[in-house]
Structure 1
């Protein structure tokens, strides 16, 4: 029998797990504001810079299904603790190296550690809260994760400019250790009077879990829904947003921090509303999941078409990203469907598969953008026109995701 009311202990457990997730987001988005510094620190070009993000999000994406199975098998607490410590190790290595290859290895560790955070929180929610609360809390989790993006956009960026590379990334490592301790002390997998995981559920085979999620149309629809709604935002936040604004539009660091903060605040506001919409629409949410990314694509086109024609683009860019914040939380609609339709024994593995979408998109698109930037700039300083051409790489990857989503949508309707 599910949880019927919210307890204070449930809120403490959720907030402690959220702290790990927030630090994971801060580490994940740190290269989004440190990209220009990384070019100087490692002496690299745009293509090699893109490898940092491509490797991290690629590892993150590939780890989602295995990590989901581990969370299903061992519980959220152990995976939050382990993931936070792995992230901390990666950040500390990154802080004290000037070797490009060692730094790539550090980003691999960060990607592995990061991959456990969101899935662990998703496992905690239905165990500690009434199911009717879960869609809204799921969106709140994603929204408050943007607190981590605020930390990378404002205090981390300030520290990076004021104190340099080593102290800034070492601070992220220290934060990882602190939240690992918090997870160990405060997080519990189920309430004391809750139903424990039955032996049969814990011991089902890996083959069964893999087959179940890889053959589920709900999981594939979740993958492509996440791909097209959150993928472009991930490309912007994880790497190319800050270089685009500073090098392309000649905005200063304070203005970039303002843009990223406005987007983060807007997402915190819009995500719970999206959760309410998802809960009320039920299976009909897939229609919104198909329309919203097309609206978002139109907003990105407006940004690239007109941003350079405005004398002070801060207000314009902020307004467009504020509008985009209404569509990006739709990426989580697939998680709601998976929670409703999949066997509880494979729920987190299925969520992990869906959560791969945006990161596969980001892995492919960041590398394509880096290649196109170098190809178009021909060794010269990057300009706005270079970024306009380069972001066509994202358009190609996004279109592939929309085709996948359309196929899933058609198959779903044919089976109804």
Structure 2
């Protein structure tokens, strides 16, 4: 667990009743939420920090492989379980719903028990859920298995961020957070390149069972080698009682930077997330008439763009906090404009260069969403960092859930012929649903940004 050094209560000067008496000092308990000004040892960074981060991020990579596995198996799942678009979207919606609902509890668990224990539990749930999914032959058991998988997925990203906060100096945290997202896209790359081919060559059950068994090696790696924090910053337990859960959550929510971070995450993440998690492959194959191989190539391009943007954004954010809002607004504007051009193209079949363009733009969505986590990190003290990160991390997945559900419902409503008969026109109108959460999120960002100073308030 990453634990903040024990704080000494502030010394409050008490004026003497008579000039002849020297001033005395009294120690009073602090009720403020701001962190202590006591100097804590700076995290060392270096090779040990990168090793700890690498072990933690291996769990996140595994989680992304599990999370995105349905993105290349959507058409196979519809055939295997005999379901339509609404039911198919329910898989991803439930998984994302569980993920979002677990973020605050997971943040509290990370703050209380440390990231190592939470990561171990996450690996167990991921492997169990995916193994059950591999052997499911009907809709209900498969749906339950994705819910279990979503619980495990929810425990990974926040835990890795907490490891980074304790092993790296504060100035490195924005860059390491972007590298974490970039590493996760490596898992997405495995899904689009390896898993898509394995599904066609090996079949459903062997492919998903093999992914589940990867968790055994990752579990052993974390259990044997990962430490929550370096010894030089591991303090004794503070004598004061831990804050109650309700107060900790409320203190995080009352901080405007946390709420701004949530809406940044909500607005920037969902377009690329919904496309990569579920609707990208069906859109490219059924609406644009592409082969699965060509569609898989474009989804690979989405991952590569995400990795490139993550590196670029990380470098910018590590140099200046002033880059946060320009990055966010630029990504929102280009995403909205790009989809407007694609959906308005005559005949509904935009040229390849435009499809490549919108996929490159959506590659910036994930890295831009991490700016929201940086707002939370810089505006909350370390003892509630996990909780604040959990609140922010709900945003993008709530937006994803709304988008997945809306597109699925509209596809079924506009394609009465049934499953597998979704026309280009149906996809065009269904994808217009993205502008609803995009507009709501943008308005909330513009409303909150004036209340949040771009400079960091707390340093860890």
Give the TM-score taking structure 2 as reference length.
0.85
Quote the Cα distance in structure 1 between the aligned partners of 2:249 and 2:60. 25
Match of 1:259 in 2: 298
Match of 1:343 in 2: 381
Are 1:219 and 2:277 counterparts? no
Work out the CA distance in 1 between the residues paired with 2:279 and 2:348.
20
2:401 counterpart residue number = 363
Post-superposition Cα deviations, 1:82-133, rounded to whole Å, max 9, x if no partner, equal 1011010000000011121111111111110000110011000121112211
How many pairs were matched up? 413
- List gaps (5 residues or longer) in structure 2: 1-39
1:153 aligns with 2:202: no
Q: What are the superposed Cα offsets for residues 116-170 of structure 1, whole Å, 9 maximum, x if unpaired?
A: 1100110001211122111111101101100111111111111111111111111
Shift of 1:21: 0.3
The 5 Å alignment of 1:133-172 reads 133-172=172-211
Moved over 4 A (4+): 307-312
Report which stretch shifted further, 281-290 or 365-374: 281-290
The question of 1:352 aligning with 2:393 is answered no
Counterparts of 2:366 and 2:221, CA distance in 1? 30
Tell me which residue corresponds to 2:218.
Answer: 179
Q: Is the helix fraction higher in 1 or 2?
A: 1
1:304-319 correspondence to structure 2 within 5 Å = 304-306=343-345, 313=352, 315-319=353-357
Whether 2:85 is the aligned partner of 1:46: answer yes
CA RMSD of aligned residues (A): 2.1
CA, structure 1 residues 8+304, in 2 after alignment: closer, same or farther (shift >3 Å)? same
The residue correspondences of 1:9-408 to structure 2 (distance < 5 A) are 9-196=48-235, 198-199=237-238, 203-282=242-321, 285-306=324-345, 313=352, 315-379=353-417, 381-408=421-448
Task: Give the distance between the partners of 2:121 and 2:60, measured in 1 at CA.
Answer: 13
Contact preservation (8 Å) 1:225, 1:290: no
- Structure 1 pair 62/197, CA: closer, same or farther in 2 (3 Å)? farther
CA displacement 1:188-236 (0-9 Å, x = unmatched): 1011332237345783211221111222211111111011111111110
Structure 2 distance, partners of 1:378, 1:92, is: 34
Q: 1:44–1:269: structure 2 CA closer, same or farther, 3 Å change rule?
A: same
Contact 2:91/2:146 (8 A) holds in 1 = yes
User: What residue ranges of structure 1 are gaps of 5+ in the alignment?
Assistant: none
- Tell me the CA shift for residue 60 of structure 1: 0.2
Distance change (3 Å), C-alpha of 1:197 and 1:103: farther
1:307 to 1:25, Cα distance in 2 relative to 1, 3 A? farther
Kept in 2, the 8 Å contact 1:61–1:356? The answer is yes
CA distance in 2, matches of 1:210, 1:274: 29
Partner SS, residue 97 of structure 2: helix
Task: Say if 2:271 and 2:365, in contact at 8 Å, map to a contact too.
Answer: no
- CA distance in 2 between counterparts of 1:317 and 1:246 reads 13
Structure of larger gyration radius: 2
Deviation at 1:4, TM superposition (A): 5.3
CA distance change for structure 1 residues 377 and 197 in 2, over 3 Å: closer, same or farther?
farther
Q: Give yes or no for contact 1:64–1:356 (8 Å, CA) kept in 2.
A: yes
Q: Structure 1 stretch 71-80 or stretch 289-298: which is displaced more?
A: 289-298
For the residues of structure 1 that align with 2:42 and 2:62, how far apart are their CA atoms?
Answer: 28
Query: 1:307–1:316: 8 Å Cα contact kept in structure 2?
Result: no
Of 428, 436, 449 in structure 2, the residue corresponding to residue 409 of structure 1 is 449
TM-superposed CA distance for 1:302, in Å, is 2.2
